[in-house]
Amino acid sequence: MDHEATTDEPQPDSVTDAPASATATATRELGEPLVELSGVNKHFGALHVLRDIDLTVRKGEVLVVIGPSGSGKSTLCRAINRLETIDDGTITIDGQPMPAEGKGLARLRADVGMVFQSFNLFAHKTVLDNVTLGPRKVRGLSKKAAEDQARTLLDRVGVGNQAHKMPAQLSGGQQQRVAIARALAMNPKVMLFDEPTSALDPEMVNEVLDVMVALAREGMTMIVVTHEMGFARKAADRVVFMADGLLVEQAHPEEFFTAPKSDRARDFLSKILTH
């Protein structure tokens, strides 16, 4: 909430002169480091999908990860709540290292919201039950409290009138907004978005992006893997460009899109922006 004023303020002057790592913090006041990756490596067989990744995301920061397919950006996102294991390196959430398994891992995952490309709503449960399941079974909320909270969240993402439908009866855009509400219901410290609009029909992309922009304005810490450059420009504090498992470049979105430093980024942007 307290970031709302600063987000809208364009600060181009301070951005262009400052070094890449400093620009992100220049746009708005960011808190303590919340998600920290250091020396993270991962192989899929012979393929080295994450190479020595060091990355820090601060409280309230909106980080957009872009890159060609196969660059490791989805793997990076999924590794943060350990849907993918890592070979070495450390990942900490709010100072706590991610446990390998068990109750500790489940507890930490509850604090990390995840939105998937394919929505993954629980297919046998109503929209309302999808949103109340975590709060009731993990957080121990009463049915009443969980449903009240769920209705507020569903209203907020604009699908309040769909509460009693099954996921299959909803459009893709509606399903993804329910998925965002389901993740928010856990009061997460950080939200991960793994290509949230890639499986959507074009006309439904904006309704999901609007919800995400609103979330960013409210000060939610977000890590977003996406190809939506409009979203990156509008809401991101920092853009990270990945290629071949490497974190190639990071910069303020405006700076990255107008004057990318690396050849790989220039090449990538020329392919996606020139048609």
Partner 1 sequence: MDDYLAGFTELFSRYDVVGAFWVNIQLTFWAGLIALAVGTLLALMRISPVASLRLTGTSYVTIFRNTPLTIIITFMVLVVWTQLTVTLAPDFNANFFWLAVVGLAVYHAAFVCEAIRSGVNTVPVGQAEAARAIGLPFLAAARLVILPQAFRGSVAPLGNTLIALLKNSTVAAAGSVATETASTMKVMIEFSPNHLYAIFFIFAMGYVILVIPIGLATTWLSDRLAVKR
Q: Which residues lie near partner 1 (CB under 8 A)?
A: 81, 83, 101-103, 106-114, 116, 118, 120-124, 133-134, 137-138, 166, 168, 179, 182-183, 186
Q: Cβ closer to partner 1: 28 or 182?
A: 182
Q: Cβ closer to partner 1: 7 or 74?
A: 74
Q: Cβ closer to partner 1: 204 or 239?
A: 204
Q: How far apart are CA 194 and CA 186, in angstroms?
A: 18
Contact predicate 5/12, CB 8 Å: no
Q: Cβ closer to partner 1: 212 or 232?
A: 212
CB atoms within 10 A of CB 42: 22
Q: Cβ closer to partner 1: 7 or 174?
A: 174
Least distance in Å: CB of 114 to partner 1? 4
Count of residues in the chain: 275
- Residue 257 zone, left/alpha/beta (φ > 0; ψ -120 to 50; rest): alpha
- Residue 67 zone, left/alpha/beta (φ > 0; ψ -120 to 50; rest): left
Q: Cβ closer to partner 1: 53 or 184?
A: 184
**Beta partners for residue 242, in sequence order:** 247
Least distance in Å: CB of 38 to partner 1? 23
Q: Tokens at residue 218, please?
A: 């409210």
Q: Tokens at residue 58, please?
A: 């601060």
Strands 33-44 and 88-93: antiparallel
Least distance in Å: CB of 223 to partner 1? 14
Least distance in Å: CB of 231 to partner 1? 21
Least distance in Å: CB of 208 to partner 1? 17
Least distance in Å: CB of 133 to partner 1? 7
Helix (H, G, I), strand (E, B) or coil at 210: helix
The amino acid that residue 251 corresponds to is A
